[in-house]
A and B are shown apart, each in its own frame.
Chain A
């Protein structure tokens, strides 16, 4: 009996270890290359852990690398502003809509809900073409505001869907009490619901933000000028030359990825609950 228990445990931990390695290895490879010197990048003997780790690639990626006269500083600013503002407006509208769907009875609710399910699943490439043609006719191509508004629309359906699931799981009693005390729906929403849900709202905002943070599709079509590029476009710019600067790419990738990974892990519990709420409803 005891033997069997230990055999079971050993098997379990071996599987867990293997799975963990498989999950993490691309991330580790990214970090590994980012700490190499450029002349070591093609050497296979070095293996996963560079013997003389160096921060040179990070320095180059952050301060020296230029494409079309622009570099990391500009692109990260563009990315932060565009995705940040888009997330703010999308989350705001999505929270209100999610709340309305979860709490109020009204005609057309089913239609609205279907609209959200549909737009959540629509392939964006379909709207991209008419969209691009319209904005270039209006002279609005190469415009970060337009990209931001597009992101806002892209973030909205999924966020609203998550908010519905989230609000459905909040008990109604507190609002009922506030209502009896004469609080208006707006008052309930802003004074009770929003302050109560700050962490979950941040988790939904993170999911939205990350969608834009990694977006290549829209940015590649909308932004032709290097001064307007977002980080994903900057990350693909290392390619065209004779030699690809791999350690710099990996260093910039690490800078782009690590903060997001930390935020994800920090908000893990809330993310899982939200996703579960989204599917269960």
Chain B
């Protein structure tokens, strides 16, 4: 019997702990990613029966850049991401600050906050489609009854308003996640700091700027990067309400990739767009990874 050294035995145990995950990530995530990268440089004509796909260099990227709505799509993506992330962060912070105060029924409100998060996107989109419908939507009827609103609003019939409405729905759906995280951060701020500050005569605003903000800022930054990464790829919310319309007014990159691949069968172009998105995300993923390791005591 060859004796296995203690160190090697330990290595085998550690390997056993991580092998299942490594296999899953390798087969189902890393392999498709490498395949997506190669596919972006190949010619894909699904109707031809030949099994090989010649390399065509940057042709797919050229095709993507020459699509007439490409600049609009990129602008939409950036506007949607900026608006949605900004909204989620600000609303998230506001609600977190509110729920950090003491009041009767706080537990119930904290529970309520989980509703948007727990509702499946298909359900959310259906609810907003009916609630905002110009002829029979309850929400629209409520808005029309306000004094300064002129008649029912056609939320999804013009581009900018449709995009703005989708930003609003996205904020409603996802701000609870931000709020919960910030709430956890707020709760870890010792009450003594505030007591000391108010003895020194610092007002609410000064307390926020000098105590709260510096202490929650690291989590705020990490959260914002996560939110950018999760928002830029938005698909279901928009696809299930407007499918990118009207006239590409709500077409963002996730929608465009899906439509190119599964409706127009432009596989090469879809993958090229995918690579653009991947590059964008990779930059933020690296920043995110570094921010997780700031403390340095972890690995």
Report which A residues bind B (CB closer than 8 A).
9, 12-13, 15-16, 19-20, 22-27, 29-30, 32-33, 41-44, 47-48, 90, 92-94, 96-97, 99-100, 104, 106, 109-110, 112-119, 121-134, 149-150, 152-153, 156-157, 160, 168, 184-186, 189, 210, 213-214, 216-217, 221, 231-232, 235-236, 246, 249-250, 253, 256-257, 260-261, 263-265, 268, 271-273, 275-276, 279-281
Contacts and interface: CB of A to CB of B under 8 A. Distances in A.
Given A29-B131, A119-B29, A129-B39, A92 B119 contact: no
A130 B36 contact: yes
B4 interface: no
A281 B298 CA distance: 8
A150 B258 contact: no
B170 interface: no
Contact of B120 (A114, A131, A134, A232): A232
Contact of B236 (A113, A213, A216): A216
B118 to A, nearest CB: 4
Given A44-B136, A44-B141, A214-B120, A121 B277 contact: no
Nearest to B275: A126
Contact of A106 (B14, B95, B116, B226): B14
A16 B105 CA distance: 10
A23 B278 contact: no
Contacts of A157: 25, 29
Interface of B: 10-11, 13-14, 16-18, 20-22, 24-25, 27-30, 32-33, 35-36, 39, 95, 98, 101, 103, 105, 109-124, 126-128, 130-131, 135-136, 138-139, 141, 172, 176-177, 180-181, 183-185, 188, 219, 222-223, 226, 229-230, 232-233, 235-236, 239-240, 254, 257-258, 261-262, 267, 270-271, 274-275, 277-278, 281-282, 284-285, 288-289, 292, 298-299
Contact of A152 (B17, B28, B126, B138): B28
Contacts of B223: 279
A273 B184 CA distance: 7
A129 B122 contact: no
Contacts of A132: 261-262
Given A29-B138, A126-B274, A276-B185, A236 B122 contact: yes
Pick the most buried of A97, A122, A126: most chain B CB atoms within 10 A of its CB: A126
7 contacts: A100-B14, A112-B18, A129-B261, A130-B35, A134-B35, A156-B25, A264-B114
A265 B108 CA distance: 9
A280 to B, nearest CB: 7
A256 B123 contact: yes
Contacts of B30: 115
Contact of A126 (B36, B103, B135, B183): B36
Contacts of B299: 109-110, 113
A158 to B, nearest CB: 10
Given A121-B226, A125-B258, A131-B32, A97 B289 contact: no
Contact of A48 (B28, B138, B230, B271): B138
A28 to B, nearest CB: 10
A221 B298 CA distance: 40
Contacts of A185: 13, 17
A12 B100 CA distance: 12
A257 B281 contact: no
B177 A23 contact: no
A216 B124 CA distance: 12
Most buried by B among A23, A150, A236: A23
Q: Which 6 A-B pairs have the closest CB atoms?
A: A214-B120, A276-B184, A153-B28, A123-B233, A130-B35, A127-B32
A26 B131 contact: yes
A47 B287 CA distance: 48
A23 B36 contact: no
A105 B16 CA distance: 14
Interface centre among B21, B277, B298 (most CB of A within 10 A): B21
Given A122-B29, A156-B24, A257 B278 contact: no
A100 B103 CA distance: 42
B233 A236 contact: no
A280 B230 CA distance: 19
A160 B21 contact: yes
A186 B120 contact: no
B130 A33 contact: yes
Nearest to A97: B21
Nearest to B116: A23
B243 to A, nearest CB: 11
Given A100-B14, A264-B117, 17 more contacts: A13-B103, A27-B115, A43-B136, A96-B18, A104-B14, A127-B29, A127-B36, A128-B261, A130-B35, A156-B21, A160-B21, A236-B240, A250-B127, A256-B123, A261-B118, A265-B114, A279-B223
